[in-house]
């Protein structure tokens, strides 16, 4: 059996119905839980499986289990609301009303910060190629108990799609978005933080190519921003117009202007 979706043990009928509909919408088999243990469920598939809990949040049981969390987005949005600066927003010069394409959605932490800044008249399109990451994040955006309404609105305005950015870039109209952003997986984790470990197990590791940046520049009206480590070979293969480093951090942003 491939991926399947079930519910937690004590799910109420409305949650079971929600799970059934979600499974149908995304083309997964729905398996009634029927008091089966996680250990038994694991024997049904060599892939992983999804469990919807009473809060309508999904856990993906790969190894280790993967759940949605808003990460640093809450603190970044709070800081912006207080008038403080955000390094990425400043570099990309993202403004209210902009259309931002986030090619590597992950848990939509960066996308939520973009969404807060572009506001209700802007748009954030986020693409995720890993199906477990996509589905867990999609239900997280819809159902996570966000700390406040500003966070909730920012996350819920994001338009998240299960799509490979190469397919999107190939078919998008020229100058159809303002900013294109890439935050691909690093081969070596930057921190030993265990928070990112479940994502590392199920994420896709496509290496960004100069041709991707060229295509992204074609569809951008303003700029393309790439997050990578200081030692990334991309910086020599396709040098950016500006490299924004930060003291004591291996993470840098490369800005490609239109």
Ligand X SMILES: C[S@@+](CC[C@H](N)C(=O)[O-])C[C@H]1O[C@@H](n2cnc3c(N)ncnc32)[C@H](O)[C@@H]1O
Binding region for ligand X (CB under 6 A): 103-104, 106-110, 127-130, 133, 164-166, 183-185, 203-204, 206
CA distance 156 to 22: 17
Q: How many residues does the chain have?
A: 258
Judged by beta carbon, residue 31 or residue 101, the one nearer ligand X is: 101
Of 31 and 114, CB closest to ligand X = 114
Least Cβ distance, residue 37 to ligand X (angstroms): 29
Distance from the Cα of residue 217 to its chain's centroid: 21
* Residue (31 or 160) nearer to ligand X, CB: 160
Minimum Å gap between C-beta 186 and ligand X is 7
Q: Which residues make Cβ contacts (< 8 Å) with residue 248, sequence separation at least 6? A: none
In this structure, what token pair is assigned to residue 100? 């931002």
Residue 104 vs 232, nearer CB to ligand X? 104
In whole angstroms, give the CA distance from residue 208 to residue 221.
Answer: 20
Q: Check whether the bond before 162 is cis (ω within 30° of 0).
A: no
Smallest distance from ligand X to CB 12, Å = 31
In 3D space, the residue among 109, 41, 113, 52 whose CA is nearest the CA of residue 77 turns out to be: 113
Smallest gap from Cβ 165 to ligand X, in A, equals 4
Beta-carbon contacts of 144 under 8 Å, excluding residues fewer than 6 positions away, are 57, 68, 69, 70, 155
Q: How many CA atoms lie within 13 A of 8 on its CB side?
A: 13
Give least dist CB 155 to ligand X, A.
Answer: 11
Q: Token pair 């990309």 is at which residue? A: 92
Q: State the residue number with the nearest CB to ligand X.
A: 106
Q: Which is nearer to ligand X, 19 or 216 (CB)?
A: 216
Is the Cβ of residue 51 or residue 103 nearer to ligand X in the bound state?
103
Q: What share of the chain is helix, strand, coil (3-state, %, to 5)?
A: 35, 20, 40
Task: Give least dist CB 161 to ligand X, A.
Answer: 9
């Amino acid at each position: 059996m491939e991926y399947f979706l079930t519910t937690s043990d004590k799910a109420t009928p409305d949650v079971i119905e929600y799970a059934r509909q979600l499974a149908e919408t995304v083309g997964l088999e729905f398996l009634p839980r029927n008091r089966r243990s996680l250990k038994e469920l694991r024997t049904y598939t060599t892939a992983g499986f999804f469990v919807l809990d009473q809060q309508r949040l999904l856990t993906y049981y790969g190894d280790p289990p993967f759940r949605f969390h808003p990460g640093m987005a809450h603190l970044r949005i709070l800081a912006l609301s207080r008038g403080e600066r955000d390094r990425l927003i400043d570099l990309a010069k993202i403004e209210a009303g902009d259309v931002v394409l986030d090619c590597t959605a992950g848990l939509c932490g960066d996308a939520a910060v973009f969404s807060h800044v572009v506001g209700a008249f802007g748009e954030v399109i986020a693409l995720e190629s890993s199906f477990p990451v996509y589905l867990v994040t999609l239900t997280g955006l819809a159902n996570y108990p966000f700390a406040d309404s500003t966070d909730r609105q920012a996350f819920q305005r994001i338009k998240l799609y299960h799509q490979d950015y190469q397919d999107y870039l190939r078919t998008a109209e020229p100058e159809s978005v303002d900013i294109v952003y890439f935050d691909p997986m690093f081969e070596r984790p930057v921190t030993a933080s265990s928070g990112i470990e479940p994502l590392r197990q199920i994420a896709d590791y496509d290496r960004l190519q100069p041709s991707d940046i060229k295509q992204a520049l074609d569809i951008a009206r303003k700029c393309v921003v790439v997050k990578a480590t200081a030692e990334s070979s991309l910086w020599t293969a396709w040098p950016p117009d500006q490299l924004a480093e930060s003291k004591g951090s291996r993470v840098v942003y490369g800005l490609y202007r239109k």
